[in-house]
Amino acid sequence: MAARPSAVQVAVFAKAPVAGEVKTRLVPLLGEAAAAELHATLVRRALATAREAGVGPVSLWCAPDTGHPFFAACAAESGAVLQEQRGGHLGERMARAFERLLANGPAILVGSDCPSLGAADLRAAASSLATHDAVVQPAEDGGYVLVGLSRAVPGLFERIRWGEASVMVDTRMRLRTAGARWREMPLRWDVDRPEDYRRLVVSGLLAERPA
């Protein structure tokens, strides 16, 4: 009988859906309330995708803390364990999350703004961690939508120009410098700008069940 694959944790990073503080680049198009509602919908979709993948325990890493009622509702709906993001910039918060996650085995971290990321992507990423130190799924805007680690990779999240088109280029440099063996997965797109929102509407993804 074949050995059962080791569980891989899936961590979803998300901000509280506070109007005017999330999806700010979509506010001119949608308004503050609708942009926050879209953000909440995308968070719920990310959690549903993580659960659908079935690769391991799912956690929701909340900012600025776990206190917003939305997070409690997400936990009740998805069964995700709530965790607080800690640290300053995104890289520091991701590094601290992985410090905690890797104490319990390999882990995948995803954001909450990539509806094109499917359960099959998470399963493929989890499988990759059985033979690689890291797995990364690039985004069309030059960043990435998923990062997974089977071990700590020193410096991976340091000196990255977050939010710029060079994030993936910088990340490859960090991986090479650390001597890590990594896999890159197929390109995906996320939702940040008005043109992304229009693409989302046309795609029909929000009306579909994650798979």
- Domain harbouring 72, CATH code: 3.90.550.10
The count of domains in the chain is 1
Contact 31, 128 (CB under 8 A): no
Helical (H) or strand (E) element with 124: helix 119-128
Mean pLDDT over all residues of the chain? 94
Tell me the two tokens of residue 12: 């979803």
What is the pLDDT at residue 2? Answer: 35
**Mean pLDDT confidence for 187-195:** 96
pLDDT of 211 higher than 50: no
Q: With a threshold of 0.85, does the pTM exceed it?
A: yes
What is the pLDDT at residue 206? Answer: 78
- Residue 3 belongs to a domain: no
For the stretch 125-180, pLDDT in tens is 999 999 999 999 999 999 999 999 999 999 999 999 998 999 999 999 999 999 99
What is the pLDDT at residue 209? Answer: 56
Contact 133, 150 (CB under 8 A): yes
What is the pLDDT at residue 208? Answer: 66
Name which residue leads in pLDDT, 1 or 72. 72
- Residue 191 belongs to a domain: yes
pLDDT of 204 higher than 80: yes
- Residue 31 belongs to a domain: yes
Within the chain, strands assigned E span: 9-15, 58-63, 81-84, 107-110, 134-138, 144-149, 182-184
What is the pLDDT at residue 210? Answer: 56
- Residue 100 belongs to a domain: yes
- Residue 114 belongs to a domain: yes
Give ∠ CA 68-72-78 in degrees, rounded to 5.
135
What is the pLDDT at residue 163? Answer: 87
- Residue 84 belongs to a domain: yes
How many helices (H) and strands (E) are present in the chain, helices listed first? 7, 7
Lowest mean pLDDT among 3-12, 42-51, 147-156, 200-209: 3-12
- Residue 174 belongs to a domain: yes
pLDDT of 119 higher than 70: yes
How many percent of the chain have pLDDT more than 70?
96
Count of C-beta atoms within a 10 Å radius of residue 164: 12
What DSSP string runs through 135-197? EEEEBTTSSEEEEEESS--TTTTSS--TTSTTHHHHHHHHHHHTT--EEEPPPB----SHHHH
Domain that holds residue 13: 9-205
- Residue 83 belongs to a domain: yes
